[in-house]
Amino acid sequence: MADPRTRPPLVHRLSRLTILLVIVALAVWFGTSALALTAVDWATTVVSDITATIWRPLTETS
């Protein structure tokens, strides 16, 4: 009779695969979050620059 404390190779392989998939999923999620934050920051900067160079001179009266 097999020792119940030792896991079969298939279960061991599946648990390793699951851990690897979780790590990859977290890395992708954090990567896309950082990318989204960078995109929002860039868009905010672009809108701010456009406002400063185009909109303000049009609305200011000399």
Is residue 43 included in any domain, yes or no? yes
Is residue 7 included in any domain, yes or no? no
What pLDDT score was predicted for residue 54? 78
What pLDDT score was predicted for residue 55? 72
Is residue 45 included in any domain, yes or no? yes
pLDDT category, 51, cuts 50, 70, 90? Answer: confident
Q: Per-residue pLDDT tens for 16-50? A: 888 899 999 999 988 899 889 999 999 999 999 88
Average pLDDT of the residues in 49-53: 85
Is residue 23 included in any domain, yes or no? yes
Spatial separation of the C-alpha atoms in residues 59 and 36, rounded to whole Å: 32
Is residue 2 included in any domain, yes or no? no
Is residue 13 included in any domain, yes or no? no
DSSP string, the chain: ---TTSPPHHHHHHHHHHHHHHHHHHHHHHHHHHHHHHHHHHHHHHHHHHIIIIIHHHH---
Spatial separation of the C-alpha atoms in residues 16 and 22, rounded to whole Å: 10
Is residue 57 included in any domain, yes or no? no
Range of the domain at 24: 18-52
Q: Which comes out higher in pLDDT, residue 18 or 14?
A: 18
The count of domains in the chain is 1
Amino acid in the structure at residue 37 = L
